[in-house]
Chains A and B, each alone.
Chain A
C-alpha cells in the first residue's frame, strides 16, 4: 500500500472516530428517560431539571384548570407515589380523573413538574366507554336540537 493510502486510512479513522465521539456525547446528553412518579422520586437530586417523560394516571380530584390563565395543575400518580404537574395548556378533551397521561418536561426543585407537553394515552383497540365517560356527552349540548344524537 502506498504512503498516500495509509494517510488516507488514518485520516478516515480520525474523522470517523471524532464524529462518533461527538455523536455518542450528543446522544448521552439528550436522552429523555421514560419514568413513573416512583422512579422519578427515587432519583432524588438526579431527577431535577433534566428532561423526563413521566407516565401515570390523573389522581382523582386533583385537577385544577384555570381557563382564563391557561393554567392546568393536577397530580400524576402511579398508585404508589404522585407528582404535582403544572402545564400551560388546555386539558385535552378527554382529560379526566384516572385517565392515563404522559407529560414531557422537567421536574423543578420546587417539587412541581413543569410539563411542556401533555399527551393522553389511549388504547388503539376499541373499548366501550364506561358510564359517564362517553365522548358524546362532551358535545351533545352543542348539537342542533333537530338531530339530537343517538344514545
Chain B
C-alpha cells in the first residue's frame, strides 16, 4: 500500500513536470497570465506529490515495511527511531528522493515569492526547474526506484551504514548539503530563463537571483563545515579535511558560488562582467551535478559513494545537456551579455574583485584537476593512483594567503577609483599589525613559514574588516550621537548586505586561523596503558581508569574511561569508545573530545586487550580547532544578516524590448555610510 502510494506519487510527479514543460510552450502564446498560472500550478502540484512520496518513505521506514526495497536495504528493527528516520538520505535511492523533494521545495518557494513579478522571467525559471526535476524523477521511476517490491518479504534488514548512524551530525550535514547543492539550481534556472526570455539584457534578473544564491551558498557553507565536524567527531583520525574527492565535490561549487557573490556586485554597480557572471552560475550548477556524479556513480570508494549500477551514465548525460544548452544560449545571446562599464582606475575595489575571482577560479581548477586526475589516469593509462595531499596543500596555500590578503584590501578600497597614497594610508595599520604578528609568531611559536604567513594574513584581514565596523560606528556616533552599541547595531541594520559580508569575512578568517593552528601545532601521543597507568599529554596526565563494555540494541560498545589530571587533581573524565555494529566487522570509533576555545584534546581508543587489562590510546592536541566550527557559524550569521535586509524595490514594468539603460553610478538603494578616509 505504502509502496504504491509512494511510487504512484513519483510517477504522477514526473508526468506533471513533463506536462508543465510541454504545456508551457502552448500557454506562452495565450499570454503571460496563462503561462504564469500554468507554471505555478505545475510547480505547486510537483511539490505536493514529492512531499507525499517522501512522507510515504518515512512512514515505510518507521513502520519497518521490508517489502519496500529501500527499507529492506537500510532499515532494521534494532535501529533507534531517530536514525531510522534520517536513513532517508543514507543510501542512493533515498538520497535522490530527498534531492527531488528539496528541488521541488526550492522551485515552489521561488515561484511563490516572486508571484507578483510580471514578465516571462519567473515562469521560465519555473519551467527550467520543472525540467531539472523531470530528470531526477526519471531516475526515481527507473534505475533508482526506492519503492521496489521485495519478495519474499524479509523479517528484518541490515540497518543503515554504521558510519551514518553513529553521530547526530548525520541529521544535520546531509540536509544542509542538499539545500545548498540543490539550491544552486535556482540561480542556474534564473540564468537560463533570463537568456531565453531576453531579460539578460538588463540586470533585474541578477538582483532577483542574488538572494537565492546567497541563501543556497549559506546552506552549502554550513554543510561543508558540518561535514568537517562530522569527519572530526566520527572517523577517529583527529582531522577534518583530507582532500577526499567527495569533500572536494562539495567544495568546488562553493568556490565558484563565492566568486559569483563577489563579481555580481561589480555587475550591479558597474555593468561589467555580465558574461563572466552567467558563466560562474552555469559552472556552479555543472559542478554540483559533477559532484553528484562522482558520489553517486560508484567511480569513487568512500563513505559517500553508494554502490550502484548504471546511474552514473544518466548523470554524465545530464551534465552534457546542461553544458550544451548553456553554451548554445550564452553564445546566442553574447550581444546582450556585453558589459557596459570599464575599469576607471587600477586601484579600486573592482580590481580586488577581479583578482578575487581569478584566484577563486584558479583554486577551483586546482581542486578539480586533483579530483579528476585519478579517474582520467585510470581510464587512460590503466594505473591506480591518488593525488597526494601535498599537491592540494602546496598549490592552494598561496591562493588562500592571497585571498585572505584581498579580503582585507577589498573593504578598504572605494569603488571606481583610488590612488596609491589613499590605499597606503588605509593599509598602513593592518599591514603593520600583520608584520608584528608575523615577527612575533616566527620568534615565539613556529618556524613553519606557512603558519607564519597564515597568521600574518589573517591578522591583516581581521584588522581591515573589523575596522570597517569601527569606522562606520564611529561616524554614526559623531553624526547621531548614538551610544557605541546602538551605533554598531544601527550601522549593520542600515546596510545589512555590506556588513553581513564583512561578518562572513571575519568568519572565514576564524576558519583559516583554526586550520592553520591545528595543522601546524598538532601533536600526537600514542601509548598503551595498563589500568592505573598514566601518560603525560600537554601538561596534563591521562590515567586509564577502566575498560568496559555495554550492549545496545543495534550495537555493542567498548569504552575506556580515562581521568585527566592536572597537578595531581582530576579535572575531567574522558571516555573514548569503539562501537561494534552487527552488520560490519570493523568497529566505528567514537573519540572523546575535550573542547576549549584555545584548542581540543582528542582521545581515540585504538586497541584494547580482551581481558580488559590494557588499552592503546591515541591522544591528539590540536590548538584552535573549535574556531573552525565557530568561524563556520559566523560566516552563516553573516549570510543571514545580508539576507535579512529589506527586499529590493520591485520592478513591475517589463522592459525586455526597451532600450538599454545607462548604468547609474549608484544603482543600489543602499547608501554608503559616511566614509572617513
By a beta-carbon cutoff of 8 Å, the part of chain A in contact with chain B is 19, 22-23, 26-27, 29-34, 51, 53, 67-68, 70, 88-94, 120, 122, 124-126, 129, 133, 135-144, 147, 149
Contacts and interface: CB of A to CB of B under 8 A. Distances in A.
Contacts of A89: 526, 606, 618
Given A31-B388, A139-B556, A122 B526 contact: no
Given A33-B385, A94-B586, A142 B616 contact: no
A32 B548 contact: no
A33 B388 CA distance: 10
Interface string B558-593: 100000000000000000001010011111000000
Nearest to B525: A70
B549 A144 contact: yes
B422 interface: no
Given A26-B391, A129-B585, A32 B386 contact: yes
B556 A149 contact: yes
Contact of B373 (A27, A129, A139): A27
Given A26-B395, A93-B586, A120-B586, A32 B558 contact: no
B607 A90 contact: yes
A122 B584 contact: yes
Nearest to A24: B369
B580 A136 contact: yes
7 contacts: A22-B395, A27-B370, A30-B387, A33-B385, A92-B607, A122-B585, A142-B612
Give the residue among B369, B390, B556 with the most A Cβ atoms within 10 A: B556
Interface in B612-649: 612, 614, 616, 618
Given A90-B607, A139-B610, A70 B616 contact: yes
A73 to B, nearest CB: 15
B65 to A, nearest CB: 20
Contacts of A93: 578, 586-587, 607
Q: Which of B384, B583, B614 has the most CB of A within 10 A?
A: B384
B661 interface: no
Contacts of A137: 610
Contacts of B606: 89-90
Contacts of A140: 549
Nearest to B608: A142
Contacts of A141: 610-612
A143 B549 contact: yes
Nearest to A34: B384
Nearest to B604: A90
B26 interface: no
Given A122-B586, A139-B580, A67 B610 contact: no
Interface string B363-374: 001100110010
A32 B612 CA distance: 39
Contacts of B390: 30
